[in-house]
């Protein structure tokens, strides 16, 4: 019975300790405290949800200011340093809030647009380390607290530490910027991913991906959309007219190809780096009444080897005799063109074959 009573009181004591800690955090000892600023931030967030127009933006602006100031105050009371650096973790948190506030949000923070839905833009992430370093360095140039603050010149060793810290954070910002630029390149020019990037110092791919050169999706997209249009241009055409079409195949295919590229690759900057070519050949010298039409999607953009590459799709065009529309007699048959296209071949490096 005594043990049971002791356990009950022990549980109550734990709850009492938790309550005291929460009370100390949530209820400030005096009005001039970091809790007051956080509460003002929450109050601004609530009030901005009822406001409209410019008033909403003004309230949201001060809400951000209160949030940043309260967070900075709380995290600098008992600073915990990032391991191996003179930078407090609080400066990193405050730097992140300042970056989002100054560079990374497009809409005011309100009840209808909460913190987690604020769209982050790359500049906020890029400048985050540098801003955090500045937040760490600036207090070293002041002494005192509260309203009694004076400027000072830090000691030489402190200045050296701050310069090294700022330089390291600026290098980190540069690497982050490079990462976003590279990702943007691969987004606007996705065909670059098909190239051999094993000599790149900042683009990493698995060893399996480096062994096999992948076919660019846009190269396949061009030929997949182009071949049906070429088939419609040739199928059922009188053989004499089909041969005339093949004489100007490069011109005809180029017009169709540019239309396909503009419609299907409009969202990519690389659309200007793709070209379409056509090569007409006689696959069988003994049968001069058949042709092979090679459709080529040619990449004219940058490559690791400074050589172009292309994807090929071959089509066989041959004459077929069909009965006339109004006469079933054999002597009235009409010779028309028939086309059959193969699957896409593997990616080939170098200049495409000449006409």
Is 302 in a helix, a strand, or coil? coil
- Higher confidence at residue 9 or residue 293? 293
52 within domain boundaries: yes
Question: Could you tell me if 149 and 80 lie in one domain?
Answer: yes
Q: What pLDDT shows up at residue 169?
A: 93
The total of structural domains in the chain comes to 2
Angle between helices 249-264 and 217-234 (to 10 degrees): 130
Highest mean pLDDT among 105-109, 343-347, 350-354: 343-347
pLDDT of residue 325: 60
pTM of the model as a whole: 0.66
Q: Which two structure tokens, joined as six digits, stand for 177? A: 């910027």
Tell me, yes or no, whether 157 and 121 share the same domain.
yes
103 or 312: which carries more pLDDT confidence? 312
Task: Confirm whether 196 is domain-assigned.
Answer: no
159 and 235, same domain (yes or no): no
Inside any domain, residue 261: yes
3-state SS, residue 318: strand
- Whether 55 is covered by a domain: the verdict is yes
Helices (H), 189-247: 207-211, 217-234, 239-247
Does 171 lie in the same domain as 36? yes
Based on the fold, state whether residues 221 and 81 are members of the same structural domain. no
Residue 203 CA, chain-centre distance (Å), reads 14
Q: Is 230 a member of any domain?
A: yes
Is residue 228 a part of any domain in this protein?
yes
Domain end marker among 173, 188, 203:
188
**Mean local confidence (pLDDT), 207-214:** 56
Per-residue pLDDT at 5 exceeds 80: no
Range of the domain at 250: 215-349
| Residue 137 confidence (pLDDT) | 86
Residues 222 and 180 in one domain: no
Question: Looking at the structure, do residues 165 and 301 belong to the same domain, yes or no?
Answer: no
Give yes or no: residues 253 and 122 share one domain: no
pLDDT of res. 6: 46
CA distance 196 to 210: 6
- pLDDT above 60 (res 251): yes
Please check whether residue 74 lies inside any domain of the structure.
Answer: yes
pLDDT confidence of residue 129: 93
Residue 2: pLDDT over 50: no
Distance of CA 263 to the CA centre of its chain: 22
Q: Looking at the structure, tell me whether residues 178 and 251 fall in a common domain.
A: no
> Does pLDDT of 131 surpass 50?
yes
Strands (E), 164-208: none
pLDDT on residue 351: 75
pLDDT band at 295; cut points 50, 70, 90: very high
25 contacts: CB under 8 Å, gap ≥ 6: 35
User: In the predicted model, is pLDDT for residue 114 greater than 80?
Assistant: no
Final residue of a domain: which of 188, 223, 239? 188
Are 262 and 175 members of one domain?
no
On average, the pLDDT of the chain sits at: 78
Section 233-245 average pLDDT: 89
Listed in sequence order, the residues at least 6 apart from 353 whose beta carbon sits closer than 8 Å to its beta carbon are 279, 294
Q: Are residues 123 and 270 in the same domain?
A: no
Range with top average pLDDT, 30-34, 78-82, 143-147, 294-298: 294-298
Collect all residues with Cβ–Cβ distance below 8 Å to 269 and sequence separation of at least 6: 188, 189
Separation between Cα atoms, residue 111 and residue 314, nearest integer Å: 59
Q: Are residues 146 and 99 in the same domain?
A: yes
| Three-class secondary structure of residue 113 per DSSP | strand
pLDDT > 80? residue 32: no
What is the predicted pLDDT for the residue at 115?
Answer: 45
Is 10 domain-assigned?
Answer: no
pLDDT average, residue stretch 232-239: 89
**Token pair recorded at residue 44:** 């601004």
At 111 the pLDDT is 43
pLDDT tens digits, residue range 149-203? 777 888 888 889 889 999 999 999 999 998 888 888 888 888 877 776 666 666 6
User: For residues 172 and 185, what is the distance between their CA atoms, to the nearest angstrom?
Assistant: 20
Evaluate if residue 279 carries a pLDDT over 50.
yes
Taking only the tens place, the pLDDT of each residue in 41-75 is: 888 888 888 888 788 888 888 888 888 888 888 77
% residues pLDDT > 90 (the chain): 15
Instruction: For residue 108, name the pLDDT band (cuts at 50, 70, 90).
Output: very low
Share of the chain above pLDDT 70, in %: 74
Sole residue written with tokens 């606007």: 188
């Amino acid at each position: 019975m005594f043990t049971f009573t002791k356990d009950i009181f022990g549980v109550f004591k734990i709850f009492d300790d938790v309550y005291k800690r929460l009370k100390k955090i949530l209820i400030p000892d005096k009005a001039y405290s970091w809790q007051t600023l956080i509460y003002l931030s929450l109050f601004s967030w609530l009030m901005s949800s009822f406001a409209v127009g410019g008033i909403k933006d003004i309230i949201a602006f001060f809400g951000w200011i209160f949030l940043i100031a309260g967070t900075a105050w709380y995290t600098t009371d008992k600073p915990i340093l990032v391991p191996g650096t003179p930078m407090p973790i609080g400066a990193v948190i405050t730097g992140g809030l300042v970056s989002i506030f100054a560079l990374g949000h497009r809409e005011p923070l309100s009840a209808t647009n909460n913190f987690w839905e604020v769209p982050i833009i790359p500049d906020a992430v890029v400048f985050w380390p540098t801003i955090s370093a500045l937040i760490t360095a600036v207090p070293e140039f002041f002494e005192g607290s509260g309203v009694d603050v004076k400027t000072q010149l830090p000691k030489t060793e402190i200045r050296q530490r701050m310069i090294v810290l700022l330089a390291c954070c600026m290098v980190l910002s540069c690497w982050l910027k490079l990462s976003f630029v590279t990702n943007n390149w691969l987004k606007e020019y996705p065909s670059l991913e098909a190239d051999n990037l094993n000599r790149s110092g900042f683009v990493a791919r698995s060893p399996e991906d480096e062994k096999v050169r992948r076919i660019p999706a846009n190269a396949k997209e061009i030929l997949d959309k182009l071949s049906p249009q070429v088939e419609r241009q040739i199928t059922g055409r009188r053989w004499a007219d089909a041969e005339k079409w093949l004489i100007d195949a490069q011109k005809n295919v180029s017009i169709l190809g540019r239309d396909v590229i503009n419609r299907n690759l409009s969202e990519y900057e690389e659309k200007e780096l793709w070209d379409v070519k056509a090569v007409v050949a006689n696959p069988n010298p003994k049968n001069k009444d058949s042709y092979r039409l090679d459709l080529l999607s040619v990449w004219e953009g940058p490559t690791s080897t400074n050589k172009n590459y292309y994807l090929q799709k071959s089509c066989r065009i041959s004459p077929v005799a069909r009965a006339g529309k109004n006469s079933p007699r054999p002597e009235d048959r009409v010779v028309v063109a028939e086309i059959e296209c193969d699957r896409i071949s593997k990616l080939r490096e170098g200049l495409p074959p000449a006409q």
